Chain A
């Protein structure tokens, strides 16, 4: 239903969004790796003044089992203010929640009671396959033409994966987004530069190479994704491909600058086949082409093979495994999750070609098993994974599970879920909030976090 005024959580520019009120709730995707009980969206109280701070205060269960909830997003956000397609009189109200394994799409209403969200529509995989020819639904973004959802495979589980559109009011599947996909086959993440009419997509692999865990032969053969694709956002046409080279595997999360006049962004590469290091790359506009530069390299840490899972034993080292990154609203700080070593690192990326480390904490980790002040049992497993930043940049939340089939390859005894929070000092520096630790209920593992009213990876902007 249309409203008379723009939704109060929409902001024309990232500068204005950074002044938004503090979030009081977080929505967290939680899944059952055994695929025995339904996955859920949990509601976590993140208001420090609340008696139930750091507790799960609500939950909505999915109607089926085995969806593998992973990433999700809002039906509408600040991009509704864009001057070329203005439609800000909609509510930020519905969470668009795909099942990565089931390809089922859930529409969840967060009103009237945001602590008690309800499923209002379920779009079955057959409908997505019929109308858009895709499956394995991954990431969603609200944008100029409606709701964009990407998929890692076609309806039969093969390449190419790609993007499709949903109507932002009826949630009907409108169809495949691409008009000309050029050489693009693999999919993982997508986002855009609204100010530069550019869509960017990254690469993982086809479902047969990840649904039962990572396949060492595919990895060592450099057959997982290693490219970025640049597209004309409005003509929906592939423009350019950048190959990171044989050494680099798994090019994952895309974080373009929020300021729409800036034509650069950051992408994480999970692993180097040369030395197990992880890397962060900056893409940028170089005259009339896009280019990339490796700006951060995080080395593997030598370790006692007895403490390592089989997949790493032969290397006698823990790979950092950078599996998520996030950029603050002012484009100043980049947060980098090292799921292997257990580090969460904060870099000052004011100069996007010359990041400077400004903070680092450690929790969990394959070898370190670092703990948290409020953790009930000393040694935590899993490591920093999906990370989300409050709009004002003062608080950072993250969880510890990567993907059901991959978790046991690196954490063979399984992962006990947790969610933690960092406080960010002015000018840089991070520290745990010792009062915030969600000891995740057994049977579920937490993945992506979305903050009430929007966060640093939910909204895009058309004005500087």
Chain B
């Protein structure tokens, strides 16, 4: 069962990314409230999920490309250092960056917003250890493009599917029943947890 935990972690990260208000469900709820339309909530979730998936896919594609070209061990260390670097930068300067897309944006703008939010938060990087271990387990310590590509796509599909399910569930619950007052107390500092998670990812990769 060595390949069980990477899938589980992909599911867990999908849920984690989905729950974070900064990854889109809150934007969908806001647009629904503005347009007084449940349909607007549902429709907004689609570009948000697509933007997130494209961001993750881009990161995984880059990693697969480098991973198959480099020695697996030095690749692992390099990836870990990059992730730790991003975590450190987020902790120190993450607040500086604001995606300049507003409440009147259309579907393409929402997808772009989601892509930029996921990318700038290093969402894809968080998946690297899980995907890497899947690819390595499959080939007994070698990264090969032939197997890494379908495995990465499967990982992307699992992660994105869970993320979409979670943003849909949370958006629906908040829009239909909970309301926004809960944000005032229930919105714990995801940026901080996120940075810690990213740091943990880097360390896990380093000591793997």
Contacts and interface: CB of A to CB of B under 8 A. Distances in A.
Contacts of A281: none
Interface residues of B, number: 29
A94 interface: no
Interface string B1-39: 000000000000000000001100011011001100000
Contacts of A169: 95
Interface string B161-199: 000000000000000000011011101110110000000
Given A12-B183, A167-B96, A89 B30 contact: no
Most B C-beta atoms less than 10 A away, residue of A83, A195, A196: A83
B104 interface: yes
Contact of B27 (A8, A83, A88): A83
Given A2-B189, A2-B192, A196 B104 contact: yes
Nearest to A143: B98
A194 B27 CA distance: 13
B27 A89 contact: no
B184 A12 contact: yes
A228 B33 CA distance: 29
Given A2-B192, A83-B29, A10 B98 contact: no
B103 interface: yes
A86 to B, nearest CB: 5
Contacts of A12: 180-181, 183-184
Interface of B: 21-22, 26-27, 29-30, 33-34, 95-96, 98-105, 113, 180-181, 183-185, 187-189, 191-192
Contacts of B184: 6, 8, 10-12, 16
A144 B29 contact: no
Given A81-B183, A87-B95, A144-B98, 5 more contacts: A2-B192, A4-B189, A83-B27, A197-B103, A462-B30
Contacts of A464: 33-34
Contact of A235 (B96, B100, B113, B191): B100
A64 interface: no
Contact of A13 (B96, B103, B180, B188): B180
Contacts of A167: 95-96
Interface string A436-464: 00000000000000000000000000111
B158 to A, nearest CB: 26
Contacts of A4: 188-189, 192
B26 A86 contact: yes
A162 interface: no
A83 B28 CA distance: 8
A84 B102 contact: yes
A83 B101 contact: no
Nearest to B91: A2
A4 B30 CA distance: 23
A12 B183 CA distance: 8
Contacts of A462: 30, 103
A16 B181 contact: yes
A145 B100 contact: yes
A334 interface: no
A235 B21 CA distance: 24
A5 B184 CA distance: 8
A91 B96 CA distance: 16
A86 B21 contact: yes
Contacts of B101: 84, 234
Interface string A83-115: 111111100000000000000000000000000
Contact of A463 (B100, B102, B180, B192): B180
Contacts of B183: 6, 12, 81, 88
A2 to B, nearest CB: 6
Contacts of A145: 98, 100
Contact of A197 (B27, B30, B102): B102
Interface in A236-265: 260-261
Interface in A67-91: 81-89
Given A6-B184, A8-B184, A84 B104 contact: no
Contacts of A132: none
Contacts of A22: none
A168 interface: yes
Contacts of B188: 4-5
Contacts of B26: 83, 86
Contacts of A144: 98, 102
Most B C-beta atoms less than 10 A away, residue of A4, A86, A146: A86
A14 to B, nearest CB: 12
A233 interface: yes
B166 to A, nearest CB: 16
Given A2-B191, A261-B34, A464-B34, A84 B99 contact: yes
A3 interface: yes
Given A3-B189, A6-B187, A197-B104, A85 B99 contact: yes
Nearest to B100: A234
A260 B103 contact: yes
Nearest to A81: B183
Most A C-beta atoms less than 10 A away, residue of B21, B102, B181, B183: B102
A41 B124 CA distance: 48
